[in-house]
Amino acid sequence: MQLISPVTEIKNIGGEREKLLASLNIHTVGNLVEYFPRDYDDRTDVLTVAELKAGDTATFTARIAANTEVMRAKRLVIAKTLLTDGTGNIEAVWYNQPYMKNTLKQGQLYLFTGKISEKFNRLQVESPEFEPLKPNGEPVSGGRIVPIYTTTKKLSQKILRQLIRSVLDEVTPQLSEFIPERIRRKYKLCERSFAINNIHFPQDDESFFMARRRLVFEELFLLQTKLLQLKGNIREKPASLAVKNLDYRPLLNQFSFNLTTAQKRTVDEICNDFKSGLCMNRLIQGDVGCGKTAVAMIAAYICIKNGAQAALMAPTDVLAMQHYKGFSEVFEALGIKCSLLTSALKKKEKQAVYLALENGETDIVIGTHALIQDAVSFKNLGLVITDEQHRFGVKQREILTEKGVGVHALVMTATPIPRTLALILYGDLDISVIDELPPGRQEIATYAMHTSYYPKIYGFIRREAEAGRQVYIICPMIEENEKMQLKAVTEYAAELKDGALSGLRVELLHGKMTNDEKQSIMSEFAEGNIDVLVSTTVIEVGINVPNATVMVIENADRFGLSALHQLRGRVGRGSAKSYCILVSDTKGKTALERLKIMCATNDGFVISEKDLTLRGPGDFFGTRQHGLPEMKIANLYKDIDILKEVQQASIELYRRDPELIMSENEPLRRKITEIFESGSEKICL
């Protein structure tokens, strides 16, 4: 039997069990041995019957004292027998398992584990797990730390344990190493065969912790090494721009505000990058309104004053135009020439921008993907700024930086990401966090409301609109789905326009519109010509409409925490008090917890940590679009210390052997190919 063998080669696995295992994504012997427990039950303390107490879950040994009786009561089939060990008696009961009559043998000694209760002044154990003892009195898998797996109906814990135990005995010699010995030795990792065996059936607590640490390290190490290979740009590169003048005080004089402590710290980190003589490769993380753009302006100003050009790339025309207006207002007063380059420009206008960039007349260009076209060339590009980094692929960022030599790169995101996940997604970047909002910024009042409150919600929307404010109403899908009973944005907008919000200027926005149609609607909303915008989630991250004060999110239980927070961030951008109303009739525990958290805090970093805990990395902020695999054992929320070690180990390995062509790294290269290239996992950066 090989690790790649189908599970049908395992004894006692027929067609039905094959299907049950397939539902757990277990198709091969290797899948089975790497199907790790979700929890453990400590059965090392084996009691006598006399020591059992009602209310406890306990493990004990006892003999079958009498034949098992099977009775019928209404729709139940009850199997009942008496257990004894010389210190006392206890009754065992199983429901709808009549086969117990032939399974349990009178006089046989078994090991039982179950919840103890007291019925009619007699101790009883209901549906206990059990196994016969060996001739020497030892259990097969009980009486020790026992694994608990995520399983499915008709595939019991006992059967799954037995299957894994039998397979491990045979394939353990095939559990070969692929982490280079140098790394295993440096980070004190146990052998892989030891780890796999002790994650399933730990010899003791110490063996379990050693096994888990090894397997968490292994899982994160494989992923991080592959990501570094895909990114391919972490090697230190000398910067062509010699930054000698770091005085940005003239720019500060143009601002109508003072920098926060977090902004100052981030600017200092950028200045240190400039002084290092190496290319800056930095990510700025910050919540909505924290002042990332002001920091980007300072970085661009420093580069321009040292004789280089800068470029800022935004994901949409609307965002690019928004940045262009903001930069122009500040930079033009200082004699710095700004240009805008988007696909919406006419050919003649584009040609003028191309020429100005090539001859150095333009100091900073702000645009969309149009910046990475072949026709764009710079006289002396020194800095590339990417806004909303998660909307671009790494390769797109590289294309822009490669339009210069030794270019500094600064990327920004308003999506607060837990540091653990940021280390994985942006392992090639230094990370700055702006975790402080400017003074005086109002929190957005957030309320979770039942649909029975619609009359009050619509009345409030009307009052805000009549006061000159604007409103977003977000629906999770476009077309009606009767099964999920979600609001269809097209029908809902029409209903509101003709009914509850009649007389107000209500417009519709959704993803099936053309880009021109979407841009037109967003521009109209930004200019104040629309009172209520009914939309799907296509409203742009970062779009700035200070007059919008109300965000209503329909079926809010259908969104993750961080998605809700991003949507909420579309309001609260002006001086007026802003509100977010989460509409949901859900009774689901996790969904209710999300809504409660949203009402309790406006802190995006707190929310992002909660979201990662509740939903896991696979769903977090659409990380599935990157093809990040589900973690089998690593917990990005708890394993930060191991992740930091992995980050260090992966970068050291990559710098030494990026293509993994050294003989010592050959097993690792094969393993990465097996998992990420020939298998189902595809990482798209």
Distances (CA, A) of 23 to 6, 267, 275, 619: 14, 51, 56, 20
pLDDT at 444 (0 to 100): 93
Q: Is residue 84 one of the residues assigned to a domain?
A: yes
Q: How do residues 397-420 score in pLDDT, each as one tens digit?
A: 778 989 999 999 998 987 777 766
Whether 472 and 332 map to the same domain: the answer is no
Q: Is residue 23 one of the residues assigned to a domain?
A: no
Select from 411, 434, 457 the last residue of a domain. Answer: 434
Burial of 247 (0-12, 13-18, 19+ CB in 10 A): exposed
Whether 271 and 332 map to the same domain: the answer is yes
DSSP characters for 47-71? EPGGG--TT-EEEEEEEE-SPPEEE
Q: Angle CA(387)–CA(392)–CA(397) in degrees, nearest 5? A: 80
Q: Which residues contact 174 (CB under 8 A, 6 or more apart)?
A: 2, 3
Distance of CA 434 to the CA centre of its chain: 20
Q: How do residues 555-566 score in pLDDT, each as one tens digit?
A: 999 888 878 888
Q: Where are the alpha helices (DSSP H) in 527-615?
A: 561-568, 589-600, 604-615
Structure tokens at 380: 């002396």
Whether 390 and 325 map to the same domain: the answer is yes
* pLDDT over threshold 70, residue 531: yes
Q: Residue 462 phi/psi, 5° resolution?
A: -60, -45
Say which residue the tokens 């924290």 belong to: 290
- The C-alpha atoms of residue 424 and residue 627 are separated, in whole angstroms, by 12
Select from 434, 465, 484 the last residue of a domain. Answer: 434
Q: Is residue 519 one of the residues assigned to a domain?
A: yes
Q: Is residue 94 one of the residues assigned to a domain?
A: yes
pLDDT at 387 (0 to 100): 87
pLDDT at 41 (0 to 100): 82
- Per-residue three-class SS string for 64-121: ECCCCEEEEECCEEEEEEEEECCCCEEEEEEECCCCHHHHCCCCCEEEEEEEEEEECC
CATH number at residue 554: 3.40.50.300
- The C-alpha atoms of residue 15 and residue 35 are separated, in whole angstroms, by 20
pLDDT (mean) for 114-125: 91
Q: Residue 152 phi/psi, 5° resolution?
A: -135, 165
Burial of 269 (0-12, 13-18, 19+ CB in 10 A): middle
Q: Where are the alpha helices (DSSP H) in 109-204?
A: 157-171, 181-186, 192-200
Whether 286 and 318 map to the same domain: the answer is yes
- Per-residue three-class SS string for 325-349: HHHHHHHHHHCCCEEEECCCCCHHH
Q: How far apart are the first and last CA of the chain?
A: 37
* pLDDT over threshold 70, residue 137: no
Q: How do residues 412-454 score in pLDDT, each as one tens digit?
A: 987 777 766 776 767 667 888 888 877 767 789 999 999 999 9
CB 580 within 8 A of CB 444: yes
Select from 601, 619, 648 the last residue of a domain. Answer: 601
Q: Is residue 7 one of the residues assigned to a domain?
A: no
pTM over 0.75: no
Whether 385 and 458 map to the same domain: the answer is no
- The C-alpha atoms of residue 602 and residue 441 are separated, in whole angstroms, by 11
CB 299 within 8 A of CB 239: no
Q: Is residue 238 one of the residues assigned to a domain?
A: no
* One-letter amino acid for residue 154 of the chain: K
- The C-alpha atoms of residue 236 and residue 258 are separated, in whole angstroms, by 34
pLDDT at 486 (0 to 100): 47
Whether 523 and 430 map to the same domain: the answer is no
Structure tokens at 115: 């919840």
| Number of domains present in the structure of the chain | 3
Q: How do residues 261-308 score in pLDDT, each as one tens digit?
A: 999 999 999 999 999 999 998 989 888 778 899 999 999 999 999 999
Whether 430 and 380 map to the same domain: the answer is yes
Domain span at 509: 445-601
pLDDT (mean) for 585-591: 89
Q: How do residues 490-511 score in pLDDT, each as one tens digit?
A: 888 999 999 999 999 999 988 7
Q: Which residues are bridge partners to 553 per DSSP?
A: 474, 582
Whether 125 and 262 map to the same domain: the answer is no
- The C-alpha atoms of residue 386 and residue 315 are separated, in whole angstroms, by 9
Q: How do residues 593-638 score in pLDDT, each as one tens digit?
A: 999 999 999 888 788 778 777 765 544 444 444 445 677 888 776 7
pLDDT at 226 (0 to 100): 86
Q: Is residue 456 one of the residues assigned to a domain?
A: yes
* One-letter amino acid for residue 550 of the chain: V
Structure tokens at 614: 């509740």
Whether 460 and 524 map to the same domain: the answer is yes
Q: How do residues 327-337 score in pLDDT, each as one tens digit?
A: 999 999 999 99
Q: Residue 612 phi/psi, 5° resolution?
A: -65, -40
* pLDDT over threshold 50, residue 685: no
Whether 593 and 454 map to the same domain: the answer is yes
Whether 305 and 429 map to the same domain: the answer is yes
CATH number at residue 128: 2.40.50.140
pLDDT (mean) for 523-546: 84
User: With bands split at pLDDT 50, 70 and 90, how would you rate the model's confidence at 139?
Assistant: low
Whether 323 and 459 map to the same domain: the answer is no
User: With bands split at pLDDT 50, 70 and 90, how would you rate the model's confidence at 389?
Assistant: low
Q: Is residue 19 one of the residues assigned to a domain?
A: no
- The C-alpha atoms of residue 292 and residue 300 are separated, in whole angstroms, by 12
